[in-house]
Chain A
Amino acid sequence: MTQTVRKLQLGKIGELVPRADAPPKVKGEFVYASDLIVPGMLWGHTLRSPHAHARIASIDISQAVAMPGVHAALTHDDVPGERLYGLEFQDQPVLAIDRVLYYGEPVALVAAEHPEQARRAAESIHVEYEPLEPVADMERATELSELHPDKPTHGHGYLDDPRPNVLRHIQIQHGDVDAAGDVVVTGVYEVGSQDQAFLGPESGLAVPDGEGGVDIYVATQWLHVDRAQVAPCLGLPLSAVRIHLAGVGGAFGGREDLSMQVHGAMLALHTNRPVKIVYNREESFTGHVHRHPARIWCEHRATHEGRLVNVRMKILLDGGAYASSSTAVASNAASFAIGPYESPNALIESTAVYTNNPPCGAMRGFGAVQTCFASEAQMDKLAAALDIDPVELRLLNALAPGDVLPTGQRITGSMPVAETIRAAAALEPPPEEPLPRDVLRLPGGAGNTTNGEGVRRGVGFAVGFKNIAYSEGFDDYCAARVRLLTDGSAEVHCAAAEVGQGVTGVILQVARTELDLEDVRLAPGQTATVDSAGSASASRMTWMAAGAVRDACRAALEEQTLRPGEEVDVERIYRHAATTPLDPETGQITGERAHVAFAACAMKVVAEVDVDLGLTRVVWIGAAQDVGKAVNPQQVEGQIEGGTAQGLGLALMEEIQTRDGLITNASFTDYLIPTALDMPPVESVLIEDPEPDAPYGVKGVGEPPTVVSTAAIVAALRAATGRELARVPVKPDDICLGSETETG
């Protein structure tokens, strides 16, 4: 278990500091959730639905419980407390009750001494399904049968849309929504469903405490919100459920919702044995939410000079079977739909619907990825229609402090969009490499498909932005606790989830800076010793943890002056400036702000495309990102490079494919993510324009590169091919054969 106290080398804010967790990780000693082993441990296994939509007539576990090595087989009847849970809306059963709404939905659990015994027992559970017609097409969802007749997302201050299966409908009306321009460009864009594809599959260990409570060691993004969902399902008080952060093998939004937490705890409490659950890769594709597939209709109206006059967009998002964070994704997609530009008028509609497709929720970029792809394609179309340089067009419309967003919010903080655009545009790509070359440096790579035949080069540009931290009235806070010990050292407690992004280093750098002390330790993350840190998501963790640790350190030093020589132990909670909800009818702000801050990223991309085979090679990417203040420049670069890679995946290869709701490529054989031969060098420039209200001027850095790289890469492919390429991932067919989604 992750009980080792981590210690960092000397390093303060702004310094390039090696990660404290890097040595154990390179040695194979860092303990991930799937590495946990304790004596007497059983293996849990989840029986999942093979149907996307079915009624359950009966479940018979009698054979399973009698099998060798099996200690428990549980169904919905065995859920000790609440049978429904959810990140924001309790619409999802812990175990299917009388119906299943998606492929892979958990139906029953088994605990056995060996995973093979658990698998065989799960196979022997007889579930009688009556298959139902799945709601598989998001465009028809509002006409088909209601999947959640109780409308769990109604009555929460949104516009309560009466149509079936509407999770959330939001409309932003800004200025004169009918305002006409001199030039109009239209387009319809589509984004496929992307998987976070973190390498460490969902895993955890639940250990009964012998007194009715349970300790859960799990790879998660938010310990306290896990506890808030797990405890009611177990029928236990919060104090009887202790969640501990086990090593996390990547997250990217996919660990915001629960996976094995309740299941593992149910089995552990039922058997009074520790129970470990580790999903395999196929199961992982059904074990977490995905990026929403989207269809986006756009109409951009502008003056002859290129100033946006009116942007009209309609966004449809497939939320899948359960709500997860779809309501917030729908709203974020709308808020950032037009990109980092000022338009005096706009009409933006965003709708997330329930279907029987895999549930969707948080993934890096959170709604802004889909709309950036659409709106940046529109900006290029507009530039072409007006015969204006695409970079100039973007500069002409770039948001700046003092400007107003479509939600009516005036930007009061840092927003260096023009500087970011200029910096990316100024990056010089390497000259075109002459032929002949090794095939590894040609489209098709190791496949040896071209020696240069059919290869054309294109340069693309895009810019994108999104919010930092939670928005729309969410009470967003982070706690930190600092102990100054009598031996002169300090110990920091913070439940911020280290998911690979490097927040551990941020916390220690802040503490070391504030305390002016080298000997600072970070205690293991858990719910029992410190209040919530909020989620490692929304690019918020650096800002929030830095604020909380800073405040706790300062309070601790103050306390120490009052009681010299004594141990000091203080906890502080940090909140960013409050936000308020959007008006449900107009999508306009109801206070000063719906979002607390923003960050932009611009990219220039060079790509080569084999236009005869539709294969691509991204040659080079130049990125400029508005980062506020780089706490650790090496880690910030790493976020830009990694975030760019995920956007490249969405642009070129990544899509969860479904047929009538069933996933047809739930494996790393058929769901492809970029390899070492697919990623180009990324040259990055950090724009440091401090965020006035944030600790040390920081902004989040994780999401902006993912928001923009898909758009920038496809822009380069369009430049190389002359094709419209209105759908991602771009398939070879779309390039060399044309595709159905093309509209000219």
Chain B
Amino acid sequence: MRITLRINGEEHQADCWEGESLLFALREKLGFPGAKNACEQGECGSCSVLLDGTLVCACLVLAAQADGHEVTTVEGLAEGEQLHPVQQAFVDAGAVQCGFCTPGLVVATADLLSRNTSPSDDEIREALSGNLCRCTGYAKIFDAVRRAASA
């Protein structure tokens, strides 16, 4: 089946198998591999994207359900070479190791800060509790969120 959706502000089309997730379509059909395929069961947040402005796991959205909708991926955050403040904060804080969780965390953090410009430590931890990181132990990720909030 063919789906049409807006990704990072531009219209895209893809031919999908009906059982495909939005994550698979983004990564394999539409040229947006930024959202990552870590668990494909909504337990890690690595595939976080915004669907009509709402933070979701792209692995749990049927590609067909995104037909006619707006998707924002990690690729849509930077303005050319100019990193989004959240991205810059992740670089500066040393919040990136293997980086497989990073795109999801960047999107989740951007979503948090868009709703709450100065989150408390508890709010940060709860907002990111759906994004697993196996490398950093989260400390530098929290640093990055605080840096981005005060940027």
Q: Identify the A interface with B (CB < 8 A).
A: 18-19, 21-23, 25-32, 34-35, 37, 114, 116, 196-201, 247-252, 278, 280-281, 438, 440-441, 446, 499-502, 634-635, 637-638, 641-646, 667-669, 673-677, 679, 681-682
In contact, B27 and A35 (Cβ under 8 angstroms): yes
In contact, B137 and A35 (Cβ under 8 angstroms): no
Report how far A410 CA is from B91 CA in the complex, Å. 43
A643 to chain B, nearest CB (A): 8
In contact, B100 and A249 (Cβ under 8 angstroms): yes
In contact, B135 and A26 (Cβ under 8 angstroms): no
From A21, A23, A31, A502, B83 is in contact (CB under 8 Å) with: A23
In contact, A34 and B78 (Cβ under 8 angstroms): no
In contact, A19 and B36 (Cβ under 8 angstroms): no
Known: A27-B78, A641-B140, A642-B97. 13 other contacts (CB 8 A): A199-B100, A200-B100, A634-B94, A638-B136, A641-B137, A642-B137, A644-B137, A668-B39, A668-B41, A669-B41, A673-B132, A677-B126, A679-B137
In contact, B98 and A199 (Cβ under 8 angstroms): yes
Q: Which residue of B lies closest to A668 (CB)?
A: B43
In contact, B91 and A23 (Cβ under 8 angstroms): yes
Contacts of A637 in B (CB 8 A): 94, 139-140
From A201, A250, A638, B94 is in contact (CB under 8 Å) with: A638
Report how far A650 CA is from B129 CA in the complex, Å. 19
In contact, A501 and B97 (Cβ under 8 angstroms): yes
Of the candidates A200, A247, A248, A675, the one having the most CB atoms from chain B within 10 angstroms of its own CB is A675
In contact, B137 and A682 (Cβ under 8 angstroms): yes
In contact, B87 and A27 (Cβ under 8 angstroms): yes
B residues 93-107 touching A (CB-CB < 8 Å): 94, 96-103, 106
Q: A502-B97, A638-B136, A642-B136 are in contact. Are A28 and B33 (CB under 8 A)?
A: yes
Contacts of A201 in B (CB 8 A): 37-38
Q: Which residue of B lies closest to A18 (CB)?
A: B91
Contacts of B86 in A (CB 8 A): 26
From A26, A199, A501, A668, B36 is in contact (CB under 8 Å) with: A199
In contact, B101 and A199 (Cβ under 8 angstroms): yes
Q: Which residue of A lies closest to B144 (CB)?
A: A26
Of the candidates A22, A251, A682, the one having the most CB atoms from chain B within 10 angstroms of its own CB is A22
Q: Which residue of B lies closest to A500 (CB)?
A: B98
Give 15 pairs: A residue, B residue, CB < 8 Å, sorted on A.
A18-B92, A26-B96, A27-B34, A28-B73, A28-B75, A249-B36, A500-B97, A500-B135, A634-B94, A638-B97, A645-B137, A646-B134, A676-B138, A677-B125, A679-B137
B84 to chain A, nearest CB (A): 8
Contacts of B124 in A (CB 8 A): 676
In contact, A248 and B98 (Cβ under 8 angstroms): yes
Q: B interface, how many residues as a size bin? A: 35 or more
Interface of B is mostly: loop
Q: A440-B126, A668-B44, A679-B139 are in contact. Are A25 and B96 (CB under 8 A)?
A: yes
Q: A28-B35, A668-B39 are in contact. Are A441 and B97 (CB under 8 A)?
A: no
Indicate whether B128 reaches chain A with its CB closer than 8 angstroms.
yes
A54 to chain B, nearest CB (A): 28
Report how far A500 CA is from B17 CA in the complex, Å. 34
Report how far A679 CA is from B77 CA in the complex, Å. 28
Indicate whether B19 reaches chain A with its CB closer than 8 angstroms.
yes
B90 to chain A, nearest CB (A): 5
B residues 63-118 touching A (CB-CB < 8 Å): 73-75, 77-78, 83, 86-88, 90-92, 94, 96-103, 106
Contacts of A646 in B (CB 8 A): 134
In contact, B19 and A22 (Cβ under 8 angstroms): no
Indicate whether B28 reaches chain A with its CB closer than 8 angstroms.
yes
Report how far A669 CA is from B39 CA in the complex, Å. 9
In contact, B129 and A249 (Cβ under 8 angstroms): no
Q: Which residue of B lies closest to A203 (CB)?
A: B37
B111 to chain A, nearest CB (A): 15
Of the candidates B28, B38, B124, the one having the most CB atoms from chain A within 10 angstroms of its own CB is B38
Report how far A200 CA is from B27 CA in the complex, Å. 14
In contact, A26 and B43 (Cβ under 8 angstroms): no
From A27, A116, A250, A441, B98 is in contact (CB under 8 Å) with: A250
Contacts of B17 in A (CB 8 A): 114, 116
Q: A22-B90, A29-B75, A250-B135 are in contact. Are A440 and B97 (CB under 8 A)?
A: no
Report how far A600 CA is from B129 CA in the complex, Å. 31
Q: Which 9 A-B pairs have the closest CB atoms?
A: A28-B34, A500-B98, A25-B99, A249-B100, A641-B137, A645-B137, A668-B43, A28-B74, A26-B87
Q: Which residue of A lies closest to B101 (CB)?
A: A199
In contact, B139 and A198 (Cβ under 8 angstroms): no
In contact, A19 and B40 (Cβ under 8 angstroms): no
Indicate whether B10 reaches chain A with its CB closer than 8 angstroms.
no
B103 to chain A, nearest CB (A): 4
In contact, B91 and A22 (Cβ under 8 angstroms): yes
From B37, B90, B99, A30 is in contact (CB under 8 Å) with: B99
Report how far A247 CA is from B131 CA in the complex, Å. 20
Contacts of B97 in A (CB 8 A): 250, 500-502, 638, 642
Contacts of A19 in B (CB 8 A): 91, 94, 96
Contacts of A668 in B (CB 8 A): 38-39, 41, 43-44, 132
Report how far A25 CA is from B83 CA in the complex, Å. 11
Contacts of A679 in B (CB 8 A): 137-139
In contact, B134 and A198 (Cβ under 8 angstroms): yes
Report how far A500 CA is from B97 CA in the complex, Å. 4
Contacts of B27 in A (CB 8 A): 35
In contact, A32 and B100 (Cβ under 8 angstroms): yes
Report how far A40 CA is from B58 CA in the complex, Å. 26
In contact, B134 and A26 (Cβ under 8 angstroms): no
Report how far A724 CA is from B80 CA in the complex, Å. 57
Contacts of A681 in B (CB 8 A): 139
In contact, B135 and A642 (Cβ under 8 angstroms): yes
In contact, A18 and B94 (Cβ under 8 angstroms): yes
In contact, B73 and A199 (Cβ under 8 angstroms): no
B141 to chain A, nearest CB (A): 8
In contact, B98 and A499 (Cβ under 8 angstroms): yes
Report how far A635 CA is from B130 CA in the complex, Å. 24
In contact, A682 and B139 (Cβ under 8 angstroms): yes
In contact, B36 and A676 (Cβ under 8 angstroms): no
In contact, B94 and A26 (Cβ under 8 angstroms): no
Report how far A643 CA is from B133 CA in the complex, Å. 12
In contact, A281 and B83 (Cβ under 8 angstroms): no
B77 to chain A, nearest CB (A): 8
Of the candidates B19, B77, B137, B140, the one having the most CB atoms from chain A within 10 angstroms of its own CB is B137
Contacts of B126 in A (CB 8 A): 440, 446, 676-677
Report how far A32 CA is from B17 CA in the complex, Å. 24
In contact, A26 and B125 (Cβ under 8 angstroms): no
A718 to chain B, nearest CB (A): 23
From A21, A280, A446, B96 is in contact (CB under 8 Å) with: A21
Contacts of B140 in A (CB 8 A): 634, 637-638, 641
A365 to chain B, nearest CB (A): 15
Report how far A622 CA is from B140 CA in the complex, Å. 16
Report how far A252 CA is from B39 CA in the complex, Å. 18
Report how far A251 CA is from B134 CA in the complex, Å. 10
In contact, A198 and B98 (Cβ under 8 angstroms): yes
Report how far A31 CA is from B103 CA in the complex, Å. 12
Q: Which residue of A lies closest to B81 (CB)?
A: A23
In contact, B138 and A645 (Cβ under 8 angstroms): yes
In contact, B100 and A446 (Cβ under 8 angstroms): no
In contact, B122 and A438 (Cβ under 8 angstroms): yes
In contact, B41 and A667 (Cβ under 8 angstroms): yes
Report how far A312 CA is from B123 CA in the complex, Å. 49
Report how far A677 CA is from B86 CA in the complex, Å. 21
Contacts of B132 in A (CB 8 A): 199, 668, 673, 675
In contact, B91 and A638 (Cβ under 8 angstroms): no
Contacts of B101 in A (CB 8 A): 199
Report how far A446 CA is from B127 CA in the complex, Å. 12
Report how far A28 CA is from B76 CA in the complex, Å. 9
Report how far A501 CA is from B98 CA in the complex, Å. 7
From A252, A281, A440, A634, B125 is in contact (CB under 8 Å) with: A440
In contact, B134 and A197 (Cβ under 8 angstroms): yes
